[in-house]
Structure 1
């Protein structure tokens, strides 16, 4: 057993008036919201990498955390797993997520690396026999090792493509064996630093082939979870091929994979792409590829991916609006791809960060449910587009009129439309009533 969290007890819901810093004020997992438990709406997951593998470094400085499992090889990996499952119990998490290199050290060969991952997978399986925490998704880290400096699937060296394939096969199979409900592919370095040495078309063909191989193997082993791509525009690459949701959909459609793959959308990545989080969710939902979510936020003064814990209920209310309107996330969930700051050195800080995140999501969920139940927001949207439901609008949309016929109709009926207010400020006020 680990004593890393010595003196700390499981976080409980105590309500908005609680002064206990280690209690939930808004996140009540068993509260029924719109006919479903709050936890079942949110499906929160703990990110293994940020909570247990990150060292407190930033682009300008290295390790600030001192964890007893750092630099201890497989012994440290086993201790880290003990600590992780102790934390899952403390925060009462229903799910977790991992990369292969988060859970086990890399070996000298692919076979050794995969063996290490499998060994920790056995620890997970044993822990999961008595833990309520399940696996939301697994993924392979195809970006940290120097072999991937020019990408994995998109690398000009086919042997690196092959190595990455062997890595993904192992993690996909482990994810399946542990009951994971999704498998995520994050490009990381699937892009370019300069066009001077890049063949974009060739690299995208390689990326599509890699993705097809993953889909085929998932079907072969009986994996029924979702295959997800996580869009990100840049950092570490200058430009990544999975820039945003719309770019990912265009890529999938080009290669005939749009029915096989969905998106895992991160708040911070949407921000880096010049979008709002709700924009990316709305686009993905409209295209039928909204699969899961990474919950975090960026620092508004920094131009890079800072992965703070979410703290904006209004932003999350709009996010949940689109999620609820599509009937929920299904097999997906809200993974806390967020980390404590490099000065937050104590074990207790991990609890504070996740309490903040869960309370923020709870407030956002309640706000979205109330907004939808009130109905006025949806009525205003419907009214704005009502003209397309009948008459000229319907005929044009259904393709019943040619361009010439439309022009003739305008002249015949003396159509002279005037602009109408978009009422943005009114709608912003309306949303704010429920946050």
Structure 2
């Protein structure tokens, strides 16, 4: 980029320096993009992505305070600022060394007074995005539409009781899918921020779920019509801003998709901070989605469960990253999904370098998690212990249960012959101690 366009002056491309000391935070100590592990490079296993909305649209404002992050790219008219923001973002992606980014339609370009004006704005900014992608080789991991912020969506988008609003959401998604094709997005995400209810008294749950399913079917039809080659993803969240959202957690979404015959068209984008909001452990929804072959991508962040709201912090806990990467490696990777940093620097972290430090730290945390996960898998100790624990399903009556051919009469005959089962120890502390050996 030309000198006058540089936003992160004095910051070079972030190097890999495994010998760096504890205080050296502007280099990777563990993430080595080209390092090959189990037949893939780190870059291919991790597929890191920077999210546009937090890192480049975020201001540090919260419900209790004014903006604290005064960025040099938020200057001029809304369209001028949008172009500056995009150039700043690509400088950041390039210096950080990531290959992907994600965005909402309204992050990329300002909303106009009409749908037509919004679309023109989006066309103009995505023309520039396409140019910058071509220059840098950086790609779009996924696109999504903001169907929750505008006042028209205060009662929902695809689940709104007024079909006029649902139609507007449909028109917005149509344009979003066009943009996804234009930019070569590898995925398209649906997050139902207001697809739920605040009061059951004024809500027809059955109607709203049916309308949302039909909305998704329209999106599938249009995707096929325009020849868009990308994975559709749904991102679960239990609450915020709704009291109860229909996409509560992974199992809620999987049940919804299977009920409406949509499971072959969608996978899940799991955000661990949302998982903990649902009362689950950090890795829970990643594991559950993967168990059903539905894990498509991960919004890699963390929260503070003691607070009870969505804090979108950068993930730095090595235990958590190890469990996530163990699941990802065991399913063979996330392609075409990835690890998207849906995280924001704290409103107190006001220096531009803090954006780099946060991403570097999180990328190193996942690199360490990947290495630990591969050691666990290659050593096979925990895997072998789990296999032995379920060994009774490998023969006899257990094998028939595994295959789905057993009957209750056979259960009764087995117990009549064998009597009371001998209960064996679950060895939880042993598993935890062995796991900690790898961390």
* TM-score, structure 2 normalization: 0.97
Divergent runs of 4+, >4 A = none
1:16 to partner: Cα distance: 4.6
Offset of 1:372 from its aligned partner? 0.1
Q: Identify the match of residue 373 of structure 2 among 368, 376, 399.
A: 368
1:45 aligns to what? 49
Query: Quick one: distance in 1 between partners of 2:200 and 2:146?
Result: 24
Matches within 5 A, 1:102-251: 102-251=107-256
- Deviates most, 141-150 or 392-401: 392-401
One of 407, 429, 432 as aligned partner of 2:433: 429
Distance 1:54 1:409, change over 3 A: same
The correspondence for 2:274, drawn from 269, 275, 278, is: 269
Contact kept? 2:276, 2:305, Cα under 8 Å: no
Is 1:60 matched up with 2:67? no
CA distance in structure 2 between the aligned counterparts of 1:401 and 1:51, rounded to whole angstroms: 55
For residues 299-378 of structure 1, the aligned pairs below 5 Å read 299-378=304-383
Q: Deviations over 1:282-335 (max 9, x none)?
A: 211111111000000002331110000000111111111111111111200000
How far, CA to CA, are the matches of 1:69 and 1:359 in structure 2? 28
Residues 25 and 361, structure 2, Cα contact 8 Å, conserved in 1: no
Distance, in Å, in 2 between the alignment partners of 1:86 and 1:32 is 27
Residues 315 and 365 in structure 2, CA contact (< 8 A), matched pair in contact too: yes
Residue 364 to residue 289, structure 1, CA distance change in 2 (3 Å): same
**Whole-Å separation in 2 of the counterparts to 1:151 and 1:223:** 26
Aligned ranges for residues 1-80 of structure 1 at < 5 Å? 1-18=4-21, 19-70=23-74, 72-80=77-85
SS of the residue corresponding to residue 438 of structure 2 reads coil
1:184-207 per-residue CA deviation (whole Å, 9 max, x = no partner) reads: 000011000110111000000110
The alpha carbon displacement at 1:62 in A equals 2.7
Count of residues paired in the alignment: 434
Instruction: Give the Å deviation of 1:430.
Output: 1.1
Aligned equivalents of 2:333, 2:404: Cα separation in 1 = 33
Instruction: Give me the whole-angstrom Cα distance separating, in 1, the residues matched to 2:24 and 2:420.
Output: 63
Task: Rate the CA distance shift 1:399–1:218 in 2: closer, same or farther, 3 A.
Answer: closer
Structure 2: runs of 5 or more not aligned: none
Contact 2:74 2:84 in 1 (8 A): no
Deviates more, 1:290-299 or 1:413-422: 413-422
- Measured in 2, the distance between the counterparts of 1:138 and 1:17 equals 36
Deviations 1:198-219 (A, max 9, x none): 1000000110011111111111
Unaligned runs of 5+ residues in structure 1 are none
Contact 1:154 1:161 in 2 (8 A): yes
